[in-house]
């Protein structure tokens, strides 16, 4: 029998949830074709639009975030179409893999772990690849915590469009960015954005979100790909009614969480998440552990464990303190650990710092907890919004 433990998730999704959000999961079941549910559904739609900062509706799929990525590829690109994908880790590589599965040809811009695509490099690649009709970005590459400056990259793509007269869609996987790092879908001129419920929206896993701007929306009907459940027209044509039975409890839970985020104020939420990431980074640096990402996202902080055995540190945190972080994926397994401060209060981050110092000391590494606490306390003021 597996023992029931209380774990505090410092993982970049799923994240620990507020009680009021958890409570929604235990409510009596609603039927999805009732007025009561429709109110929740349309309220969620409005809330998502305001968090995506978009005029057009956001499609809600009952699936994990990858389904939103797949739906996007299946609806926007025909077999044989060419797209550009900067690849710097597991999630940006996923764009390339999905495209390949749909017969879409990918030119990769290969980057080292922790690097982010530079706007100039993106423009150069587009110029070299005149057939490319889209740029698929990953705002936060969650395998390393690297943040892409989406706004600057979109600007440089728009420049290439103006100079060449080509149309190039820009798409952002903002699964670990929405509600964490600033994102302005309309204002920045993005064409499409995908997200999911279990990261910055601080909800349970199982819902995926797709937003399409007008240009991408008009592309759907021209794409020669087979699709049925993932045909985004079903979700976007009548945003007031779900096309199929949605996951009713998850919809109710994420609706509550989205309401909380909007009440707190998205700017303050961004600030809090970025402050928590910065505090975590300070904790790792105080132990002499170097960050993986050059440009740090607010969603996940990855650090090289160096001489410290990554698995032993992971286990000490989990078994002695109930603190769960995420391990390195693929080539990075055993070399890095990743921690997230999404929606954490100051006391949660301070508890993490204590657990981290204690786990490290068992492994023979010293971290001056007093001095790092003094260093991060002012930063953590921004995280009081979650109290
Ligand atoms: C979590 C995540 C996804 C989606 O993963 P699912 O397990 O399908 O929800 C996609 N992209 C990024 C950058 C992510 O962090």
- Chain mean position to CA 39: 27
Tell me the torsion sign for CA atoms 177, 178, 181, 182. Answer: positive
Quick one: which atom of ligand 1 is closest to the CA of 67? 8
* Cα angle 348, 350, 351; round to 5: 65
Total residues found in the chain within this entry: 387
The CB-based long-range contact list for 192-198 (8 Å cut-off, 24+ gap) reads 192/72, 192/76, 192/216, 193/52, 193/54, 194/65, 194/68, 194/69, 194/72, 195/52, 195/65, 195/68, 196/13, 196/64, 196/65, 196/68, 197/250, 197/254, 198/13, 198/14, 198/15, 198/64, 198/65
Residue 181: CB within 6 Å of ligand 1?
no
What residue's CA is closest to ligand 1, atom 6?
Answer: 65
131 CA from centroid of ligand 1 (Å): 28
- Chain mean position to CA 278: 17
Q: Give residue 1's pLDDT.
A: 46
pTM for the whole structure? 0.97
CB neighbours of residue 229 within 10 Å = 13
153 neighbors 177 (Cβ within 8 angstroms): no
- Alpha-carbon dihedral 133, 135, 136, 139, rounded to 10 degrees: -160
Structure-token match 């960015």, residue found: 177
37 neighbors 31 (Cβ within 8 angstroms): yes
d(CA 343, CA 180): 9
Q: Give residue 6's pLDDT.
A: 79
Give the three-class secondary structure for 327. strand
Residue 173: CB within 6 Å of ligand 1?
yes
Q: Give residue 323's pLDDT.
A: 97
Quick one: which atom of ligand 1 is closest to the CA of 13? 1
Residue 66: CB within 6 Å of ligand 1?
yes
Rg (CA), the chain: 21
Pocket test for ligand 1, best of 173, 174, 208, 230 (most atoms within 8 A of CB): 173
Residue 65: CB within 6 Å of ligand 1?
yes
Q: Give residue 370's pLDDT.
A: 98
Query: In 115-211, which residue ranges form alpha helices assigned H by DSSP?
Result: 119-128, 150-164
Residue 197: CB within 6 Å of ligand 1?
no
Pocket test for ligand 1, best of 88, 175, 254 (most atoms within 8 A of CB): 175
106 neighbors 99 (Cβ within 8 angstroms): yes
Query: In the chain, which residue ranges form alpha helices assigned H by DSSP?
Result: 19-24, 35-52, 65-76, 90-101, 119-128, 150-164, 214-219, 232-236, 248-264, 266-286, 310-321, 346-362, 369-380
Residue 148: CB within 6 Å of ligand 1?
no
Question: For residue 385, what is the DSSP state?
Answer: G
d(CA 295, CA 114): 8
- pLDDT tens over the chain, length 387 residues: 455 567 899 999 999 999 999 999 999 999 999 999 999 999 999 999 999 999 999 999 999 999 999 999 999 999 999 999 999 999 999 999 999 999 999 999 999 999 999 999 999 999 999 999 999 999 999 999 999 999 999 999 999 999 999 999 999 999 999 999 999 999 999 999 999 999 999 999 999 999 999 999 999 999 999 999 999 999 999 989 999 999 999 999 999 999 999 999 999 999 999 999 999 999 999 999 999 999 999 999 999 999 999 999 999 999 999 999 999 999 999 999 999 999 999 999 999 999 999 999 999 999 999 999 999 999 999 999 999
Quick one: which atom of ligand 1 is closest to the CA of 69? 10
d(CA 86, CA 83): 10
d(CA 94, CA 99): 8
d(CA 332, CA 203): 28
218 CA from centroid of ligand 1 (Å): 26
What residue's CA is closest to ligand 1, atom 4?
Answer: 65
């Amino acid at each position: 029998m597996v023992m029931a433990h209380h774990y505090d998730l410092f993982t970049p999704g799923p994240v620990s949830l507020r009680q009021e959000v958890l409570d929604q999961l235990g409510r009596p079941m609603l039927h999805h074709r009732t007025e009561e549910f429709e109110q929740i559904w349309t309220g969620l739609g409005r809330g998502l639009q305001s968090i995506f900062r978009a005029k057009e509706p956001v499609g809600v799929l009952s699936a994990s975030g990858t389904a939103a990525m797949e739906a996007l590829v299946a609806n926007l690109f025909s077999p044989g179409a060419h797209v550009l994908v900067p690849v710097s880790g597991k999630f940006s590589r996923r764009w390339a893999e999905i495209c390949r599965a749909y017969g879409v040809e990918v030119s990769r811009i290969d980057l080292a772990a922790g690097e982010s695509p530079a706007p100039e490099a993106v423009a150069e690649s587009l110029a070299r690849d005149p057939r490319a009709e889209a740029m698929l970005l990953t705002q936060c590459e969650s395998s390393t915590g690297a943040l892409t400056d989406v706004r600057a990259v979109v600007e440089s793509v728009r420049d290439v469009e103006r100079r060449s007269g080509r149309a190039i869609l820009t798409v952002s996987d903002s699964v670990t960015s929405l509600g964490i790092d600033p994102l302005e879908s309309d204002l920045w001129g993005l064409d499409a954005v995908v997200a999911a419920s279990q990261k910055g929206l601080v909800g349970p896993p199982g819902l995926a979100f797709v937003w399409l701007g007008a240009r991408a929306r008009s592309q759907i009907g021209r794409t020669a790909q087979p699709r049925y459940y993932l045909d985004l027209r079903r979700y976007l044509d009548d945003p007031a009614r779900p096309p199929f039975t949605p996951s009713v409890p998850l919809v109710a839970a994420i609706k509550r969480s989205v309401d909380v985020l909007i009440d707190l104020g998205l700017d303050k939420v961004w600030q809090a998440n970025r402050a928590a990431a910065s505090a975590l980074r300070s904790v790792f640096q105080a132990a002499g552990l170097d960050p993986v990402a050059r440009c740090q996202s607010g969603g996940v902080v990855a650090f090289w464990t160096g001489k410290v055995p990554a698995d032993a540190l992971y286990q000490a945190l989990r078994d002695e303190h109930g603190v769960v972080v995420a391990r390195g994926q693929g080539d990075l397994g055993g070399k890095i650990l990743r921690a997230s401060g999404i929606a954490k209060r100051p006391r949660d981050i301070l508890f993490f710092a204590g657990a981290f110092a204690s786990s490290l000391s068992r492994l023979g590494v010293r971290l001056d907890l007093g001095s790092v606490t003094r260093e991060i306390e002012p930063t953590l003021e921004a995280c009081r919004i979650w109290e």
